[in-house]
Amino acid sequence: MTKLTLGSHPYMLGFEQLERLVERTSKSDLTGYPPFNIEQSGDNAYRITLAVAGFAEDDLSVTVEDRQLIIRGRQTDVEDERIFLHRGIAARQFQKAFVLADGVEVAGAAMENGLLHVDLNRTPPESIVKTVKINRK
């Protein structure tokens, strides 16, 4: 018995790109730093929340590149005369990437109490009915 993949199913045409996206995202690390939540905040709205304690707004960037939401954080090391007896707060850079479906757009981003909220809205596709004329050859 042959295993059918999404791109090779006979009734699903043109979904090869979706199969590549699923393969690419399955290789990404969902448990890494920083921790995050994804919630549905409405029928067509989502919110991604990252715990970014210690990061200032200037240390963070939120961009959309080729249908991917990319959130980066980079803290600038302040050279001062502090002597740490214990340093448990990570000051490391990070990058999180989320693949966005067609019609999903970033509505905005906000910082609140050490959390970065990125709001997304999905525009439902219009239902289109098209009649195709059959030509005689």
**Per-residue pLDDT at 111:** 97
Query: All domains of the chain, ordered by start, with CATH?
Result: 1-30 (no CATH), 31-122 (2.60.40.790)
- Sheet containing strand 36-42, edge to edge, reads 36-42, 45-51, 115-122, 104-112
**Per-residue pLDDT at 9:** 72
H helical segments located in 2-102: 16-26
User: pLDDT truncated to tens, each residue of the chain (137 aa)?
Assistant: 566 666 667 777 777 777 777 776 666 655 588 999 999 999 999 999 999 988 999 999 999 998 889 999 998 766 678 888 998 876 788 999 998 988 999 999 999 999 999 999 999 888 899 999 999 98
